[in-house]
Chains A and B, each alone.
Chain A
Amino acid sequence: MTDANRTPGEFCGRTRREFLWEAGAGFTSLGLIDMLSRDGVFTGRASGAEVNRLGNPLASKPPMFAPKAKSVIFLFMYGGPSQVDTFDYKPKLYELDGQTIPVKTFGRGGKKNEGRVVGPKWKFKPYGECGKMVSDLFPNLGTCVDDIAFMHSMTADSPIHGSAMLQMNTGKILSGSPCLGSWVNYGLGSENENLPGFVVMLDPTGGPISGAKNWSSGYMPASYQGTILRSAGVPVLDLKRPEGMSGETQRHLLDSLNAYNTDHLASRRDNSNLAARIASYEMAYSMQSHAPEAVDLTRESKETQSLYGLDEDKTRDFGRRCLLARRLVERGVRFIQLYAGGAHNDSNWDAHGDLETNHGYHAGRTDKPIAGLLKDLKRRGLLDETLVIWGGEFGRQPTAEYAKGTGRDHNAYGFTMWMAGGGIKGGTSVGATDELGGTAIEDRFHVKNLHATVLQQLGLDPEHLNYFYNGLDQKLVGVEGAEPIRQIIA
């Protein structure tokens, strides 16, 4: 787009910190600078790498050490699935069904000292070589346990959706911090210039509570926030040309715009932001064709589609999103978050009333798609470099919430999450809850340990992935830091 030689000297001698302070200069986006380099905008004495490091927050950055995983798929079971009805087998609980016993719980109904036990509503049986006990809610996922590491001793700081969602996504129960996906993109950048690096796919019933706060980049630039990707219709906001504008017309518009902007640039060549903005139109233009291709599931074979349950009504929606997640991973998208469940009450895993109906429904629509995703990733050789995470913002209590019925209140004292792929040791289970399954007692892990594990697998040291803000080197894992869960790392 230009033949000028110039010295992009404005980047020299600056530290990253100075750059972030000033913030105003040069936050250009994915691949823009690479593109400019190719086009000869930057051919001065500063190396492309320097320009990248300083100028493009989403330029692909090397990890701190050899990574095990390149991408993350976070299957967010919004609402909080019950651990004792899914993966945390508690035989004693069946016997206690209906009995009121002393037990400390803390949920939306406050702190209680006793409660009526609700026995698990499904049977468990062993699966795989590891013999992992899995409930009948997940007959398909059961067949994948040898690739999965279960963490039965997760804890969080809040049993209330609002703050617990924020903590699972940002590490903090207070609003305003960047999300895990933001940190990952901040640390590693994106490999695909035609797609966002942090993608969020919502449930058709709606977003989670607190909406966009769950994919916000907080105090980091907006470049790191999650982008909503739709599995049907126009995948990304404003990706579709409006009514009445053909591809040719748009091309003419962009060519003419480019000519004006190039004139404007001629006497201002030392301002890389102008060139970056010129390039951003070309990237937007190509996103219009690449993004729809990425979400076009008709390119998948019948067999693959049915592996994800696209041929069944109840699994089609989540299956589409899981399949989409795999396609995004293949295209270098760094962090993908899928919400299983949305909106309020029984539209997600928040089973306060009728546990059987609620969990039956949500497991029913996700079991096969998730199993399909793991198997498909594996057979394509992608599972090794893709870290899959499953879990909600907390778990549920072993006791009933009300006098009657099977509904369980929230529980952050102990719950189960699992990870697979991305250098995770399959067929393992770590940590334990007490015999009721409500409180973590062995190898207790905090949400921060989970976050630390994710960063670790991506080649980022959780204790040293810093962002200077508010007078402090902020970390995802907080000032005190947190250890990765080493027991599950292969």
Chain B
Amino acid sequence: MVPPSPSITHGDLMPRSLLPALLLVILSLSHVLAEEKAPTPEQTRFFESKVRPVLVEQCIKCHGPDKQKAGLRLDSREAVETGGDSGPIVVAGKPDESLLIQALRYEEDGPKMPPSKRLPAEQVEVLTQWVQQGAHWPVETASAPASTIRRGPMVITDNDRAHWAFQPIQRGQLPHVNNPAWATNPVDAFVLAKLDAKGLTANPPASKVALIRRATYDLTGLPPTPQEVDAFVADTSPKAYEALIDRLLASPRYGEKWARHWLDLVRYAETNSYERDNPKPSAWRYRDYVIRAFNDDKPYDRFIREQLAGDELPDKTNDSVIATGYYRLGIWDDEPTDRDQARFDGLDDLVATTGQVFLGLTIDCARCHDHKIDPIPQKDYYKLVSFFNNTNSFRNGGPTDEVPYVEPGRELAYQERVRELELQKNEVREAIAEIEDEFRKGYQAGEKLPKGDIEELRYRFYRDTWTTLPEFDALKPEDSGELPQGLFDLKPRTRDISFGFVFEGTLVVPEEGQYTFTLDSDDGSRLTLGGNIIATDDGIHGLGDPKSAKVTLQRGRVPIRLDYFQKASGLGLAVTWSGPSFPAKFLSAIEPTKTKSKALADLASVIRTDGAKVLGVERFERYRSLVKKAQVLREQEAASESILCITEQGRVAPDTHLMLRGNAHVPGDKVEPGFLAVLGDEKAIIPEPPADAKTTGRRRALADWITSPTNPLTARVIANRLFQHHFGRGIVRSPNNYGVQGDKPTHPELLDWLATELIAQGWHLKPLHRLIMTSQTYQMSSNANPEASAKDPMNDSLWRMDMRRLTAEEIRDSILAVSGQLNLTMSGPGVFPEIPAEVMAGQSIPGRGWGKSSAENQARRSIYVHAKRSLIMPILEGFDQAETDRSSPVRFSTTQPTQALGMINGTFLHKQAATLADRLKREAGDDLNGQVRLALRLTTGRQPAEPEIQRGVRLIQSLETQDGLSRDEARRIYALLALNLNEFLFLD
């Protein structure tokens, strides 16, 4: 029987009240409010007879003594004046500006209160009147409820600053230990001191086989080969182990293994999630960059600078720009309900990831209000936002997300080539345009080229900058005129950026029937027919994703209208319609040189059919060869590669405001870039960017602050992550949360020692790996010790090494390594191993977004598998691959029967088992004993004992005799068994 647990809340064990801090605030502010004049008797009467009844009846259930939703109470004068998480809700005398009244009015984009139903108009009127008259609240009688939640701005106290993680990092003395001989390494000194204090003994060293497996997996994510094991076991020199560590650290596999840890942290994936889950352009370059960074032992402070501000560094390189792909890795909704909110969601992703990954703080908890647990005021959140606020929002490609990739040293040659290509293209373009004009004239002369289908077409031209279609009708046009051609045409524009058009005319419908319209524009557009919007392609984007609509129309004339705007780059408009009696034709003028729309191929198709007639054979042939040449040139351009990166809107940053309640539509006070209040509240010093700068330099200032050796968090956080991935848990067990509710370090002095050592070593990680791994502590066995278990069941004091199961990627990679199939090719775009059709069936378009790679590429390491957010290989998902929508600091390690199903029945395992079986036969010859021995050696690393070999031989033989399997089939079953061994999947 399972006794009922009181609740499954697991946070309730922690005291989390900030009451002392709050009380202080209350005391310091309450006197300010008492000064006001008392209301007149009339005002009191109005309040008591009209206002208070509404508040009591409608509001205090959620905003009173029992509940304080949004941190708000409406049952006392002080409470109302203070407001809630959004600050004050009443502006005396100004109902239109009072959040209380806005909410009661159910104004768009704001809170709607009460949520269940709009109040009757009379009640809203009463409260509006009350605010209008000054929101007077009578002096409370003694029995009136005293506000307990009075809150002003969060005040950081000495107590807050005293939290361990905010203290300067200090390199203490190595502690005295009872057995100095064991503590040959500073790590050991700290660990042993704690063991001594607890009366515990350190475990003896692990066996050499266990040790080489542990070290090889920890540094490369792959099993050691039998030869590597033998060599290490045979090497009895005192330096054998250190040599092993050095060899592993120098292996390119090290970067692949440790990049994976980093990619988990920075929510790395190569697609955007949501309905389309489209691929991000060149995201894989970031993955390769991280692998290179680890392999090159790039100093961690440089690694941070490159990711946060690689484009702003004086010595920027391809790699430092690729590093800023960091900003582009998160989820992205390409059709958000509320664009402003979506922009702030994007910024939130950056604040959350940056705060947790580099600083180990959940600053993102302060988006809507002051942090409930940590001393992080809401203002700190928006200070951090201000560093990112000038960045261009993600658009999944294009000049704001990508820059060309040029091999180092080839920059000049590249620019030369770009120029040359552009010249050639222009030549070809002009030549084509010339022939097209010729064709048009000739075609029209023969009265074959129909005029556009819109009569009485007029345009209005506007100049301004928008990010979505404005209400043009409310704006003053700069110019207007007729378009007798009957085609929507952007030609009357006076410039190529920041303009808009409204076209209005009458569409002539030849007969009743269903018509299909397509609309494709760069940037936004909207097509209206008979007063109804039929297609919208709003927002900032390029051509290539046409919107279509089917409409049934009567014969006759119907008003047609097109709204269009263009912001910064690109340009283009393609509108077509087709109907029962005609295939798709244009409603818009054709500007082939400026656009890439597929629909624009139509003129080309007319020329293809009628070109020879109209132009004559010679000109037509010339045209055809030009088109071909243009095609070749285009492909050459497509072959030039790009980098996914951050860009900004210019050198001047926009103002950043605190957004009340995190609502993107309700700006509060302006904030300036600065750093966390609890760490000194410094203002960021941002040098004036040069006149030709494309960015503000703000991100560089942030990177400087984070990488400052005096920042108490940065070095601790990364040193802890290294420790975590060597011991299965960090010294701080909550590696992304060093706040008040995070776990306290089990070995605080050791953490600080490692952090200072990291900085002393120039922020290089490899020396720190070496230091940790050469400790006696790391080399301890994982054996049980009942006495120690009883005293320290969680192994908090590190009396032994904890066993660990391999990660999802290690399992898949190890299976491929053991079967002999593993392809160690590095870098490049993601690969697509086979995914069972049953899994694809869960997609709305099965197979969409998943390619098929060659057999060799399917056998690449898992880190090179295309990281698609909504479609994950079952073996990786089943064994707890990291969730990619948010920073993921710790892997789960679940055990489920569905894993076992995949491991004994799954296609991948069976294919690999067959390959392994072939390998056994190939390498061990016909000797059954030898085959079994090799299978066990490959999977466990050690020399198997005779009974284990005999058990395998017996299985193979009985499968032959009892089940009638052939020797090959039986060997395959045994190979499958070997891949399922616990000893294969777990490390001692």
Residues of B within 8 A of A25 (CB): 802, 893
Residue from B10, B737, B790, B982 in contact with A16 in the complex, judged by beta carbons closer than 8 Å: B10
Tell which of B52-60, B639-647, B749-757, B905-913 binds the partner. B905-913
Residue of B nearest to A173 (CB): B337
Q: How does the 8 Å CB contact mask read for B690-717 relative to A, with 1 for contact and 0 for none? A: 0000000000000000000000000000
Tell which of B126-134, B419-427, B565-573, B895-903 binds the partner. B895-903
Whether B274 pairs with A287 at a CB distance below 8 angstroms is no
Q: Answer yes or no: A196 CB below 8 A from chain B CBs.
A: yes
Tell which of A265-273, A299-307, A417-425 binds the partner. A265-273
Residues of B within 8 A of A356 (CB): none
Tell which of A141-149, A381-389, A461-469 binds the partner. A461-469
Q: Answer yes or no: B362 CB below 8 A from chain A CBs.
A: yes
Q: Answer yes or no: A38 CB below 8 A from chain B CBs.
A: no
Q: Give CA–CA (A157, B336) in the complex, Å.
A: 11
Q: Answer yes or no: A53 CB below 8 A from chain B CBs.
A: yes
Q: Give CA–CA (A314, B577) in the complex, Å.
A: 36
Whether B898 pairs with A196 at a CB distance below 8 angstroms is yes
Given contacts A29-B896, A267-B783, A404-B553, contact A163 B274 (CB under 8 A): yes
Q: Answer yes or no: A77 CB below 8 A from chain B CBs.
A: no
Whether B10 pairs with A249 at a CB distance below 8 angstroms is no
Residues of A within 8 A of B118 (CB): 441
Residues of A within 8 A of B919 (CB): none
Residues of B within 8 A of A252 (CB): 955, 958-959, 962-963, 973
Whether B793 pairs with A13 at a CB distance below 8 angstroms is yes
Q: Answer yes or no: B874 CB below 8 A from chain A CBs.
A: yes
Shortest CB distance B51–A (Å): 24
Count class of interface residues, chain A = 35 or more
Residues of A within 8 A of B739 (CB): 471
Residue in A238, A274, A281 whose Cβ sees the most chain B Cβ within 10 Å:
A238
Residue of B nearest to A400 (CB): B532
Residue from B11, B372, B551, B980 in contact with A257 in the complex, judged by beta carbons closer than 8 Å: B980
Residues 560 to 603 of chain B near chain A (Cβ within 8 Å): none
Whether A280 pairs with B948 at a CB distance below 8 angstroms is no
Residues of A within 8 A of B4 (CB): 62
Residues of A within 8 A of B805 (CB): 273
Whether B846 pairs with A206 at a CB distance below 8 angstroms is yes
Shortest CB distance A243–B (Å): 9
Whether A49 pairs with B3 at a CB distance below 8 angstroms is yes
Residue from B13, B741, B783, B886 in contact with A15 in the complex, judged by beta carbons closer than 8 Å: B13
Q: Answer yes or no: A344 CB below 8 A from chain B CBs.
A: yes
Whether A245 pairs with B896 at a CB distance below 8 angstroms is no
Residue from B538, B549, B558, B836 in contact with A402 in the complex, judged by beta carbons closer than 8 Å: B549
Given contacts A213-B273, A244-B969, contact A270 B901 (CB under 8 A): no
Q: Answer yes or no: A159 CB below 8 A from chain B CBs.
A: yes
Shortest CB distance A286–B (Å): 9
Residues of B within 8 A of A442 (CB): 117
Whether A221 pairs with B880 at a CB distance below 8 angstroms is yes
Given contacts A12-B793, A18-B733, A277-B982, contact A211 B529 (CB under 8 A): no
Q: Answer yes or no: B609 CB below 8 A from chain A CBs.
A: no
Whether A17 pairs with B10 at a CB distance below 8 angstroms is yes
Residues of B within 8 A of A12 (CB): 793
Q: How does the 8 Å CB contact mask read for A168-192 relative to B, with 1 for contact and 0 for none? A: 0000011110000000001100000
Whether A212 pairs with B9 at a CB distance below 8 angstroms is no
Q: Answer yes or no: A75 CB below 8 A from chain B CBs.
A: no
Given contacts A10-B789, A472-B362, contact A223 B896 (CB under 8 A): yes
Q: Give CA–CA (A57, B895) in the complex, Å.
A: 10
Q: Answer yes or no: A96 CB below 8 A from chain B CBs.
A: no
Tell which of A87-95, A229-237, A329-337 binds the partner. A229-237
Residues of B within 8 A of A402 (CB): 532, 534, 549-551
Shortest CB distance A193–B (Å): 8
Q: Answer yes or no: B786 CB below 8 A from chain A CBs.
A: yes
Whether B337 pairs with A163 at a CB distance below 8 angstroms is yes
Residue from B784, B948, B981 in contact with A270 in the complex, judged by beta carbons closer than 8 Å: B784
Residue from B10, B336, B552, B893 in contact with A23 in the complex, judged by beta carbons closer than 8 Å: B893
Residue of A nearest to B356 (CB): A470
Q: Give CA–CA (A74, B736) in the complex, Å.
A: 36
Whether B275 pairs with A210 at a CB distance below 8 angstroms is yes
Q: Give CA–CA (A174, B550) in the complex, Å.
A: 31
Whether B897 pairs with A287 at a CB distance below 8 angstroms is yes
Given contacts A239-B901, A250-B904, A280-B896, contact A212 B872 (CB under 8 A): yes
Residue from B9, B839, B982 in contact with A466 in the complex, judged by beta carbons closer than 8 Å: B9
Q: Answer yes or no: A481 CB below 8 A from chain B CBs.
A: yes
Count class of interface residues, chain B = 35 or more
Q: Answer yes or no: A222 CB below 8 A from chain B CBs.
A: yes
Q: Give CA–CA (A213, B890) in the complex, Å.
A: 21
Whether B897 pairs with A29 at a CB distance below 8 angstroms is yes
Residues of A within 8 A of B117 (CB): 441-444
Residue from A207, A238, A261 in contact with B844 in the complex, judged by beta carbons closer than 8 Å: A207
Residue in B11, B789, B803 whose Cβ sees the most chain A Cβ within 10 Å:
B11
Whether A218 pairs with B901 at a CB distance below 8 angstroms is no
Residues 262 to 315 of chain A near chain B (Cβ within 8 Å): 263-265, 267-271, 273-274, 276-278, 280-281, 283-284, 287-288
Whether A212 pairs with B870 at a CB distance below 8 angstroms is yes
Q: Give CA–CA (A376, B221) in the complex, Å.
A: 53
Tell which of A109-117, A118-126, A132-140, A359-367 binds the partner. A109-117
Whether B534 pairs with A471 at a CB distance below 8 angstroms is no
Whether A405 pairs with B552 at a CB distance below 8 angstroms is yes
Residues 872 to 896 of chain B near chain A (Cβ within 8 Å): 872, 874, 877-878, 880, 883, 885-886, 888, 890-896
Residue in A49, A64, A112, A237 whose Cβ sees the most chain B Cβ within 10 Å:
A237
Whether B900 pairs with A21 at a CB distance below 8 angstroms is no
Q: Answer yes or no: B533 CB below 8 A from chain A CBs.
A: yes
Given contacts A210-B277, A244-B969, A403-B553, contact A30 B897 (CB under 8 A): yes
Residues 3 to 45 of chain A near chain B (Cβ within 8 Å): 6-7, 9-18, 20-25, 27-30, 32
Residue in A27, A64, A175, A230 whose Cβ sees the most chain B Cβ within 10 Å:
A175
Whether B69 pairs with A110 at a CB distance below 8 angstroms is no
Given contacts A206-B841, A207-B844, A441-B117, contact A112 B533 (CB under 8 A): yes
Residue of A nearest to B881 (CB): A222
Q: Answer yes or no: A103 CB below 8 A from chain B CBs.
A: no
Given contacts A158-B337, A163-B333, A280-B899, contact A212 B842 (CB under 8 A): yes
Residues of A within 8 A of B962 (CB): 248, 252
Whether A109 pairs with B533 at a CB distance below 8 angstroms is yes
Shortest CB distance A351–B (Å): 13
Q: Give CA–CA (A196, B898) in the complex, Å.
A: 9
Q: Answer yes or no: A358 CB below 8 A from chain B CBs.
A: no
Q: Answer yes or no: B26 CB below 8 A from chain A CBs.
A: no
Whether A110 pairs with B907 at a CB distance below 8 angstroms is no
Residues of A within 8 A of B955 (CB): 252-253, 256
Whether A60 pairs with B880 at a CB distance below 8 angstroms is no
Residue of A nearest to B535 (CB): A109
Shortest CB distance A28–B (Å): 4
> Can you list 7 pairs linking A and B with CB atoms under 8 Å apart?
A160-B337, A162-B274, A175-B869, A206-B846, A211-B871, A405-B551, A481-B69
**Interfacial residues, chain A to chain B (CB-CB below 8 A):** 6-7, 9-18, 20-25, 27-30, 32, 48-49, 52-53, 57, 59-62, 64, 100, 108-110, 112, 115-116, 157-163, 166, 173-176, 186-187, 196, 202, 206-213, 215-216, 218-219, 221-223, 227-228, 230, 234, 236-242, 244-246, 248-250, 252-254, 256-257, 259-261, 263-265, 267-271, 273-274, 276-278, 280-281, 283-284, 287-288, 342-344, 353, 400, 402-405, 441-446, 461, 464-466, 468, 470-473, 480-481
Known: A49-B3, A173-B333, A209-B275. 16 other contacts (CB 8 A): A10-B793, A16-B8, A30-B896, A62-B2, A100-B531, A158-B337, A176-B883, A208-B844, A211-B843, A239-B905, A256-B951, A259-B951, A264-B981, A267-B783, A288-B901, A403-B552
**10 pairs of A and B residues whose beta carbons are closest in the complex:** A176-B885, A471-B362, A162-B275, A284-B900, A16-B10, A404-B552, A29-B896, A283-B897, A27-B894, A175-B273
